Structure 1
Amino acid sequence: MDAKTLAQILEIAFDKKVSDVHFEIDNPPFFRGRGQLIRSRLPVLTPEDTEFIAKTILAQHGRELPAGPEEIDTSYALPHGGRFRVSIFRQRGHYGIVMRVIPPYVGTYKELHLPSVLEEIVQAPNGLILVTGPTGNGKSTTLAAMLRDMNERFTYNIITIEDPVEFVFKSNKSCIVQREIGIDTRGFSEALKAAMRMDPDVIMVGEMRDAETAEACLRAAETGHLVLSTLHTQSATSTISRLTGFFPPEAQDIVLQRLAEILVATISLRLVKDKSGEHILPVVEIMRNTTTIEACIREGRLEEIEKHIENGRVQYRMQTMDQHLIHLLKHDIISMEQAKRVSHSTDLERKLTFT
């Protein structure tokens, strides 16, 4: 493996519009396309190959491979501007690398098939907006579309804190400052504290990973800023439970009170294939913090939230994941098999019949 070969492999990834590239010893590179992992016909990788790839990636940021076992999240850019989010790890004592392709273009809500109600949600003057879902289901892409919208419409000072920086923005109406963990700052909580001294209107935190980061995000939202972040949860209810779970039991009632006051919305995502199998579409649950839902959060009646999301579809443009799935099924866009794969309920077909 040499730098030219690595560049050629990564160029193939962009040309073929794959989502991920895998480098592991005793296998050729793998590409993930349309959700499927595809074994390439390239030569089998040796331990020296994967170590070279890892070193090349880190060298771009002036970093070296650590001596001991350590997982590393970083980014890598090709000369023409193509970017990757990179995970470097050890397996069987050797290096493995997974590189997520970051599309060079930040799509609009319409281009990404996201609900247009996001245009209203990002107009909140302050509070907390959470984008949630499993890994690889469009959280970063959705956040990027929201930042693009703000950048085009509002005169904000936007600070992003990411590990690593994925989509790169140019300031338009807004001023955007992008900081990367490990390169520009040591960690999320440190960067959040610093961001408060940088005259922010909007703070985007790539991921809430621990209680310290969660507390810093809550505090920023409480002090008049709009905070956007992500969690690996699958619904509004599980998102609130996960957030409160960061804190000790004796503090959780207070956290619910705080969330009830500052939460603007949760946007939960899953990706499905359309009937042709050629396109990937988001299925989206939208919860907005109405007066009724605020009371549910404050009083810990989380099990009632989904019902209120369903009932708020017309007035507040909210929707459950099943409501979105039924819309896609009725318009013959996706198959029942795909719908059942992501639905939280066991009676989706009955709901379809009576809707």
Structure 2
Amino acid sequence: MELKQLIRKARSVQCSDLHITAGDFVAVRRFGELKLIDIKPTIEETEKMLFDILNDEDIRRVKNGEDIDVAASDESGGRLRINIYHQRRNLAASIRLLDANIPSFEDLGLPGKLLAELASKRSGLVLVTGPTGSGKSTTLAAMIDYINNNMARHIITVEDPIEYVYGFKQSMIHQRQVGRDVPNFASALRSALREDPDVILVGEMRDYETINAAITAAETGHLVMSTLHTKSAAQTVERIISACPIEAQPALTIQLSSILTGVITQTLVPFARKEGRIAATEVMLNNTAVANLIKEKKTNQIQTVLQSNLSSGMHTLNYSLANLVKTRVISREAALKHSENPADLAKNI
């Protein structure tokens, strides 16, 4: 079987991921659940499948034992984010299947008005956080697409690899891939400051150097968007500060308190009455109370601020989960499973 046939089959049943292992069963992930299917490519078939989508340089790297990340388009026009790696001396691949069209906020079930306001900011740091597979990249893509459709901005993205591809609409968008167009996130951010951007999207803030460069970019009057693998707004602030060397933490904490515009944390929860998943969210917007808590390193009190500022659009993950249960969108059991504080959620429900 050719790779394009496997991808077509996976897309036809709305799978998000395809896993190929030489000499073993193919697996798909559908609405968060992994399932093995009765297709077992040989070592030779697997190598041919994967090498057919790689250029000569990528093939050389794989044969030298490297793991690689690449992106490509399939026959449907959809994008593929591909990681090829080695296990038990043979090849394996994980392929994320992305739609050809970028979904809107409404399609994703996200608070559209709030995200539109954040995307319209002239400067600051906006973070979308959550566990792997929670839709962070898609949410950021929806925000970039909103800007592209509604504002004249110069947008620079730094990604590893490039996932969604944007055409010029009202905005001008330049997409740079780590390892091909730029050596790393941090150097790309420093370079971007000389390229007259309005908006900079950083695929992920992986280390202190990237975090520091992103904060500097936001501080100098740019809107910076990025992701982190954190499960709450408070944890996001703690992660950023703890990634910084101890001697530099006081200065970074003050910078963060002034430039952090908003944190959207999301997790995908199965629908109660149909197939598919919906995003439950936590939203923190920076106001005087939040800024003071960040400066004073009292992140454990951020949840209280979120609970007392519902009118401004802020809310906790438990608030979102409880609302989805009360409106019968998700089940009580699913909500409790995805909550960071199930005991508190049970009381809210």
Distance in 1 between residues matched to 2:67 and 2:205, nearest whole Å: 18
Q: Which amino acid is the alignment partner of residue 64 of structure 1?
A: I
Whether 2:72 is the aligned partner of 1:76: answer yes
Shift of 1:119: 1.3
TM-score relative to the length of structure 1:
0.94
**Contact map agreement 1:14 1:82 (CA 8 A) in 2:** no
Distance 1:80 1:349 in 2: 44
What is the match of residue 297 of structure 1? 294
User: CA-atom RMSD, angstroms?
Assistant: 1.4
Decide which of 248, 252, 257 is 1:251's aligned counterpart: 248
Corresponding residue number in structure 2 for 1:89: 85
Query: In 2 relative to 1, CA 274–171 (structure 1 residues): closer, same or farther, beyond 3 Å?
Result: same
Q: Deviation of residue 62 (structure 1)?
A: 5.1
Judge conservation of contact 2:3–2:50 (CA < 8 Å) in 1. Answer: no
Deviates more, 1:24-33 or 1:83-92: 24-33
In structure 1, the partner of 2:48 is 52
- Counterparts of 1:130 and 1:324, CA distance in 2: 18
Q: Is the 8 A contact 2:76 2:100 kept in 1?
A: no
Q: Which moved more, 1:65-74 or 1:226-235?
A: 65-74
2:59 is aligned with 1:64? yes
Runs of 4+ aligned residues of structure 1 deviating over 3 Å after TM superposition are: none
Equivalence for 2:151:
154
Q: Partner residue of 2:303?
A: 306
What is the rounded CA distance, in whole Å, between the counterparts of 2:277 and 2:266 in structure 1?
A: 12
Aligned partners of 2:249 and 2:54: how far apart in 1? 40
Give unmatched runs, 5+ long, in structure 2. none
Alignment of 1:276-295 (within 5 A): 276-295=273-292
Please, which of 202, 205, 229 is the counterpart of residue 205 of structure 1? 202
Q: Which residue of 2 aligns with 1:38?
A: 35
Q: 1: CA distance between counterparts of 2:76 and 2:266?
A: 31
Instruction: Report the number of matched residues.
Output: 346
**Counterpart position of 2:336:** 340
Q: For 1:186-225, what aligned pairs fall within 5 Å after superposition?
A: 186-225=183-222
Which deviates further from its counterpart, 19-28 or 317-326?
A: 19-28
1:242 lines up with 2:239 in the alignment: yes
Question: 1:207: Cα distance to partner?
Answer: 0.5
- Equivalent position to 1:262, from 259, 263, 270: 259
Q: Which amino acid aligns with 1:175?
A: M
In the TM superposition, 1:7-22 aligns within 5 A as 7-22=4-19
**Identity across matched positions, percent:** 38
Distance 1:337 1:294 in 2: 35
Go from structure 1 to structure 2 and tell me whether the alpha carbon gap of 1:181 and 1:37 turns closer, same or farther (over 3 Å shift): same
Deviations 1:220-242 (A, max 9, x none): 01111000000001111111111
5+ residue gaps, structure 1, are: none
Tell me how far 1:277 sits from its aligned partner: 4.2
Counterpart for residue 126 of structure 2:
129
Shift of 1:80: 4.0
- Mapped to 2, the partners of 1:16 and 1:62 lie a distance apart of 33
Give the match for residue 270 of structure 2. 273
